[in-house]
Amino acid sequence: MTTPTSSRRRHTLAMLAATAAVTLAAALPAPAAAQAWPSKPIRVVVNFPPGGAADQLARLIGQPLSEALGQPVVIENRGGAGGNLGGEVVAKSAPDGYTLLMSSGGMVSVNPHIYPRMPFDPAKDIVPVASAARVLVYLVAKPSLPPNNIREFLAYLKANPGKTSFGSPGNGSSPHLAAEMMKSQAGVFAVHVPYRGAAPALQDLLAGQLDFYFDPGIGLQQVRAGRLKLLAVGSPKRSPLFPDVPTLDEAGLKGFDADTVFGFYAPAGTPADVVARLNREINRILGTQPVKDRITALGGEALPLTPAEFAAKATEDSKRFGAIIRERKISGD
């Protein structure tokens, strides 16, 4: 027989048990997905070797981003296959906001045109987070090459078909496509030597093993030091760093534009609020004077965009670069 006293006792014990359960649950760590992001270090995979434009931009933005988020931002270089190796690492990572990709725009606007069987689909497996910079390309040559200006250079190539060589960070990279655009529009021929990144190509140019190269800005100190000749800019407008150097458009190659946009991407499925936070923080960093000045010094232009604007730029570049890829029958490494 149940008495009022025993009923009250059971009710009191049940309440104590429930309270203990709540207290214990509160003391246990919450699941990772439920914790406030970010709660651990963020990895940024750069899909080109150290020293190139992507690497320098990742490190330039990574430090202030770490300060803004209150967590370390760790840079990891995974170059190879025109950026596909690093891109695949990110595409197949957990979409939790802790793995990002820093890449040239070629990852989404060029690689699908030159690799028939990519290990991932850039249109579906990664999403744009934030652009970082519009990266200009500069036509530079070794000092011993006879031409001293762009018109002399184009005439020299015409008079010496196949006798000059140029390097690039790899097949389909923006410096490679810039050279192919120049060859197509000027009706000249030179031998392409692909490398696994911009830095090693620059080193061989400085060593005299190459004749010229479209530089994404990492060799400008060598230009200032007189170790390289700057002949032209492969952009629609002149560089503010070298206002006396003409564009290839001015040299007669009408409409020449080989610029590309570098930026950050994340695995598809990354939470929208995480992407929005990253975009907001990166755009704020790009607006700071020290970062803007450093990007300008590297030969580029800080370019804060929304994820949607960044995606639209990739679509536009895909059409532009796809045309020259098809014309020149360019394939991946």
Structure confidence at residue 49 (pLDDT): 85
Does residue 17 belong to any structural domain of this protein?
Answer: no
**Per-residue pLDDT, 29:** 44
Nearest residue to 291 via CA among 54, 48, 57: 57
pLDDT-based confidence at residue 60 (cuts at 50, 70, 90): very high
Residues 274 and 130 in one domain: yes
Taking each continuous run of H as one helix and of E as one strand, the counts in the chain are 13, 11
Dist CA 213 CA 141 (whole Å):
6
Indicate if 186 and 147 belong to the same structural domain. Answer: yes
Residue 22 inside a domain? The answer is no
| Residue 248 within any structural domain of the chain | no
pLDDT band at residue 10 using 50, 70 and 90 as cut-offs: very low
Considering the domain architecture, whether residues 309 and 278 belong to the same structural domain is answered as yes
Helices (H), the chain: 4-27, 53-69, 84-91, 106-109, 111-114, 122-125, 150-159, 174-186, 198-206, 220-224, 272-286, 289-297, 307-328
| pLDDT value of position 33 | 42
Interhelix angle for 53-69 vs 289-297, to 10°?
170
pLDDT of amino acid 78: 95
State the pLDDT at residue 35: 64
- Domain of 305, CATH number, reads 3.40.190.150
Q: State the average pLDDT for the chain.
A: 89
Q: Does the pLDDT at position 131 exceed 70?
A: yes
Distance, in Å, from the CA atom of 135 to the CA atom of 103, rounded to the nearest integer, reads: 12
pLDDT at 25: 39
Let me know if residue 119 belongs to a domain: yes
Residue 111 and residue 95 share a domain? yes
Q: What is the pLDDT of residue 6?
A: 45
Assess if residue 62 is contained within a domain: yes
What's the chain's Rg over C-alpha atoms?
Answer: 26
Rounded to whole angstroms, the Cα distance separating 308 from 128 reads 8
Question: CB of 170 within 8 A of CB of 197?
Answer: yes
Residue 127 and residue 266 in contact, taking contact as beta carbons nearer than 8 Å: yes
85 alpha carbon, distance to own chain's centre:
14
Share of the chain above pLDDT 70, in %: 89
Tell how far CA 50 is from the center of its chain: 13
If one counts every other C-beta atom within 10 angstroms of the C-beta of residue 18, the result is: 10
Average pLDDT on 110-139 reads 95
Identify which of 10, 34, 327, 14 has the alpha carbon closest to the alpha carbon of residue 182. 327
Number of domains in the chain: 2
Q: Is residue 20 part of a domain?
A: no
- Chain segment 198-212, per-residue pLDDT in tens: 889 999 999 999 999
pLDDT in tens, 72-87: 999 999 988 888 999 9
pLDDT tens digit sequence for 286-322: 999 999 999 998 889 999 999 999 999 999 999 999 9
For residue 179, which of 245, 232, 241, 116 has the smallest C-alpha distance?
Answer: 232
Give the confidence band of 52 by pLDDT, cuts at 50, 70, 90: confident
Do 120 and 143 belong to one domain?
no
Output b/e per residue, 135-173; b: 16+ Cβ within 10 A: bbbbbbbbeebebeebeebbebbeeeeeebbbbbbbbbb
| CB contact at 8 A, 256 and 247 | yes
pLDDT per position as a tens digit, 17-49:
433 443 343 344 434 444 699 999 999 999 988
Shared domain for 57 and 123, answered yes or no, is yes
Question: Can you tell me the mean pLDDT for 159-176?
Answer: 93
Closest CA to 201 of 307, 329, 48, 68: 48
pLDDT of residue 264 exceeding 70, the answer is yes
**215, 233, 251 - which closes a domain:** 233
Please give the C-alpha separations between residue 129 and each of 40, 259, 278, 281, in angstroms, as whole numbers: 19, 20, 7, 11
- Residue 9 included in any domain: no
On whether the CB atoms of residues 248 and 175 are closer than 8 A, the answer is no
Distance CA 95, CA 317 (A): 26
For position 155, what pLDDT does the model report? 98
Q: Domain for residue 15, yes or no?
A: no
For 179, residues 6+ apart whose C-beta sits below 8 A from its C-beta are: 166, 168, 190, 192, 214
Residue among 316, 257, 300, 294 at smallest CA distance from 135:
300
Higher pLDDT, 251 or 20: 251
Same domain, 145 and 211: yes
**Residue 16 confidence (pLDDT) above 90:** no
Q: How confident is the model at residue 270 (pLDDT cuts 50, 70, 90)?
A: very high
Q: In terms of domains, do 82 and 116 share one?
A: yes
Domain span at 220: 138-233
CATH number of the domain where residue 179 is located:
3.40.190.10
pTM score: 0.80
Residue 118 has pLDDT above 70, yes or no: yes
How long, in residues, is the chain?
333
So what's the pLDDT on residue 120? 96
